């Protein structure tokens, strides 16, 4: 029965590719072939399917196996080990509401790691808990720093996206079942998640071009640092006596 269900799955989502997938070999190889081909028109399936880490076709058939990226306990505690742009952007976001009681020390750990990338003086301008999501949603849309807003929503589980909000524990408690409706829904969610990731990557790359300088610019935009006064306009140079004569001589 599981084998017949697998055939129906192929015919439903990858019509015309049944023979190529079945010729892959063992059940593990067939699952890997299905996962690889499925990801192109739809969304990636769980990484372990492509590593041969399955016991039978049933591992694929029980539910739709996907990778979700919502922050959980370990992820928050691992923020200090992320790249400098991800680390610094995390400091700007108030995500304390996502932490359990007694985990407030996470922010202190991130601050200690951030000193390796920008000056202590610059870090001192950041509000104690970072900026609220509500504030960031007011000032960032339409700006070149919009990737920071995506980062904030990711940290706060407010991206309204399965791939970005749901944690591994939440996924395993209620995994999605195979259906055309679910596949279409997850395909759209994956496209939106990719758009978010692209904006974040663009923002992170810009920030890392010059961490000290660009982080200061970002803080200035957010209002943490006062903008320097504009330079005084250059005084108009009055013509000196004889200028006209010299021009005429030329």
Phi, psi of 93 (to 5 degrees): -110, 130
Chain segment 9-34, per-residue pLDDT in tens: 999 999 999 999 999 989 999 999 99
Chain segment 155-206, per-residue pLDDT in tens: 999 999 999 999 999 999 999 999 999 999 999 999 999 999 999 999 999 9
Whose structure tokens read 């309204």? Answer: 160
> Which pTM does this prediction carry?
0.84
Q: Write the DSSP string, 204-225.
A: HHHHHHSHHHHHHHHHHHHTSS
């Amino acid at each position: 029965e599981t084998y017949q269900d697998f055939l129906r799955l192929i015919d439903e989502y990858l019509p015309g590719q049944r023979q190529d997938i079945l010729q892959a070999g063992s059940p593990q190889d067939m699952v890997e072939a299905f996962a690889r081909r499925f990801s192109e028109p739809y969304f990636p399936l769980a990484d372990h399917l492509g590593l041969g880490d399955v016991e039978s076709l049933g591992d694929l058939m029980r539910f739709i196996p996907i990778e979700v990226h919502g922050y959980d306990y370990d992820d928050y505690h691992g923020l200090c080990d992320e790249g400098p742009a991800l680390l610094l952007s995390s400091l700007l976001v108030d995500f304390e509401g996502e932490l359990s009681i007694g985990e407030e020390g996470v922010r202190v750990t991130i601050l200690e790691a951030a000193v390796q990338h920008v000056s202590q003086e610059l870090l001192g301008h950041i509000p104690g808990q970072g900026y609220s999501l509500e504030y960031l949603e007011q000032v960032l849309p339409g700006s070149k720093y919009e990737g920071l807003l995506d980062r904030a929503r990711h940290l706060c589980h407010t991206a309204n996206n399965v791939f970005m909000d749901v944690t591994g524990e939440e996924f395993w408690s209620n995994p999605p079942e195979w259906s055309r409706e679910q596949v279409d829904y997850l395909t759209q969610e994956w496209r939106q998640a990719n758009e978010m990731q692209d904006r974040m990557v663009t923002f992170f790359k810009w920030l890392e071009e010059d961490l000290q300088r660009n982080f200061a610019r970002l803080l200035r935009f957010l209002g943490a640092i006062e903008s320097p006064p504009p330079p005084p306009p250059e005084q108009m140079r009055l013509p000196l006596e004889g200028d006209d004569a010299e021009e005429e001589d030329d």
